Structure 1
Amino acid sequence: MSITCGFIGLGDQGGPIARRMIEGGFATVLWARRPESLDPYRDTSARFAATIAELGAQAEHVGLCVVNDDDVRQVCEQLVPAMRPGSRIAIHSTVHPDTCRAIEKLAGERGVWVIDAPVSGGSPAAKAGALTLMLGGDPDVIAAARPVFETFGRLIVRLGDVGAGQHAKLINNTLLAANIGLADMALAVGAELGITKPALVELLLASSARSFGLEVRARMPEPSSFAHGAALLKKDVRLLGEVLGTEAAAFVALRDAAADFLERALAGTSTPS
């Protein structure tokens, strides 16, 4: 491959993305706050940077998959000044659309492009190269980045300008939270009516009420086992509320469907199932 890629954020989802890029034939530079995070890549062709700036100086395409808005801002404050004009940053984190727009403005002052590129599918899809990418940014820049994205993505969709990808991801995750919440209520109703959870789940998953949210809830022994996922979904529901306004009718309906389950998952309590 003719370009050098960089990647920052080697967690459960970012790690497999980086590995797919490496195995896809792209020269890749990695940086991590904790040196031990680089250990799984020592048997690959990846190079390791001592600093974010060192990575930025070497890479023409940098993927970010850090946890939150503050992490994205802190990384980009060090990354952007080191990158060459014409290079690009792909933000795979799920963050506020305004964060991506602010980074686009910062990067644009140095001739660096930004692609708003959150992903869906989790670690299993990342490992399989089957993630969904929701993209916002310049069409030509996205087209140039597509060979990199194709190493780990199966469905790759441009939705508009920078920020549009985050809009779609927040809608997706809020709807998932609502669907899990509704599935949780349905299973509670089944328990009240004396229907066992395994029998009801089998029936619903084979019927018109099936959903991915139901599949997710059915795999949980109780909501508290989903505490980590619930924390991430609650954050995304909050961000969608900030984008739409918390009084928007559609947002209220989605938020309320999700709220009880998310609170119980985070509180470690459960309902009969």
Structure 2
Amino acid sequence: MSTIAFLGLGNMGGPMAANLVRAGHDVRGFDPVPAAQERARDNGVTICPSGTEAASGADVVVTMFPNGAILLDSYQGGLIEAAPSALFIDSSTIDVAQARRAGELVRAAGGRFVDAPVSGGITGATQGTLTFMVGGDDEDLEAARPTLEAMGRTIVHCGVVGAGQAVKLCNNMVLGVTMIAVSEAFVLAESLGVSDDVFFDVASHATASCWALNSNCPVPGQVETSPANRGFAPPGFLGALMSKDLGLALSAIDQTGTDARMGRLAAELYRDYAAGEGAGRDFGGIIESIRERSGGQQ
């Protein structure tokens, strides 16, 4: 089994690191948040005083950071030098250009790199059922596969370095747009006198069927595991994260000149949602903002 450094032990990284421990790997971790350190320690992760110490001599270095700036700062701040020949796996969600730059830095030092953002949320991270969207060389993907298989169920090779991030941003743009569409449809149905139960029963078995409706339904009482049943309180895919991901998608839209008006509008709506209490609530809570703008109909 491998010696793995895992940096970023929060709501996603903590369970992912725990699954690596359960798979028999020697996992050394770091996170600046004491509570995250304690949870990871309880799950068998050896906590180190810094990321560079965790990475020193590691075979694999996995990062799960809030943004690309932190990733590049860590790479340029001694992390790569701590394990110059290691395989670096970044599972953060960052800009495509940042992922490519990270790969360049690692390869220049003699190491290997894949970008491997995830889909599946906290539940998938805990249960080890994540989907990994991987960008990198064939050989590097195969080297990363045993590590990824300990944390996820589906591994998709998307192309060269940066392609994993590209697919993740496109996927989450679809998710953001569809959640808004589902929420607007519920509010419209309510305004027309149709009950949530009736609309869900029809839409979930008809052409409106989608993940946002069937797994993360924004109205309570329809899907047992939906955050709507607990007032959109965490855990879940927080509005701040959706806003961040759509912001990255918007940047890619602008860079490529893509005519993506729905994606652009979704980024604007989630930016407004995350500017308030929505930042710390599930992204499905945007239905409440739609209700308020519609006159508050229930």
Q: TM-score, length-normalised on structure 1?
A: 0.90
Aligned twin of 2:206:
207
Alpha-carbon deviation of 1:69? 1.5
Aligned twin of 2:39:
40
Aligned twin of 1:6:
5
Alpha-carbon deviation of 1:152? 1.0
Q: 1:57 to 1:265 in 2, by over 3 A?
A: closer
State how far apart, in whole Å, the 1-side matches of 2:255 and 2:172 are: 16
Aligned twin of 1:84:
84
Contact 1:181 1:261 in 2 (8 A): no
State how far apart, in whole Å, the 1-side matches of 2:33 and 2:231 are: 31
Aligned twin of 1:178:
177
Does residue 1:231 correspond to 2:240, yes or no? yes
Q: TM-score, length-normalised on structure 2?
A: 0.83
Q: 1:11 to 1:245 in 2, by over 3 A?
A: same
Equivalent residues, number: 271
Deviates more, 1:93-102 or 1:44-53: 44-53
Q: How does 1:1-273 map to 2 (within 5 A)?
A: 1=1, 3-77=2-76, 78-85=78-85, 87-215=86-214, 216=216, 217-218=218-219, 219=226, 220=228, 229-245=238-254, 248=257, 250-257=259-266, 259-260=268-269, 263-264=272-273, 266-267=275-276, 270=289, 271=291, 272-273=297-298
How big is each residue's C-alpha offset from its partner over 1:219-248, in whole Å with a ceiling of 9 and x where there is no partner?
Answer: 437997689722211221121121232784
Instruction: State the percentage of identical aligned residues.
Output: 28
Alpha-carbon deviation of 1:49? 1.7
Name the aligned partner's letter for residue 66 of structure 2: V
State how far apart, in whole Å, the 2-side matches of 1:28 and 1:52 are: 12
State how far apart, in whole Å, the 1-side matches of 2:92 and 2:248 are: 13
Alpha-carbon deviation of 1:208? 2.3
Name the aligned partner's letter for residue 231 of structure 1: A
Name the aligned partner's letter for residue 76 of structure 1: Y
Alpha-carbon deviation of 1:39? 1.4
SS in structure 2 opposite 1:245?
helix
Aligned twin of 2:294:
none
How big is each residue's C-alpha offset from its partner over 1:165-218, in whole Å with a ceiling of 9 and x where there is no partner?
Answer: 000000011100000010111112101211122332232113221111124223
CA RMSD of aligned residues (A): 2.4
Deviates more, 1:9-18 or 1:242-251: 242-251
Deviates more, 1:4-13 or 1:31-40: 31-40
Q: 1:221 to 1:251 in 2, by over 3 A?
A: farther
Aligned twin of 2:222:
none
Which structure 1 residue ranges, 5 or more long, are not aligned? none
Contact 1:135 1:165 in 2 (8 A): yes
Q: 1:191 to 1:262 in 2, by over 3 A?
A: farther
State how far apart, in whole Å, the 1-side matches of 2:232 and 2:34 are: 32
State how far apart, in whole Å, the 2-side matches of 1:223 and 1:264 are: 15
Contact 1:224 1:267 in 2 (8 A): no
SS in structure 1 opposite 2:238?
helix
State how far apart, in whole Å, the 2-side matches of 1:210 and 1:19 are: 34
State how far apart, in whole Å, the 2-side matches of 1:51 and 1:44 are: 19
Which structure 2 residue ranges, 5 or more long, are not aligned? 220-225, 278-287, 292-296
Structure with higher RCO (Cα < 8 A, 6+ apart): 1
Alpha-carbon deviation of 1:36? 3.4
Alpha-carbon deviation of 1:82? 1.2
Alpha-carbon deviation of 1:61? 0.5
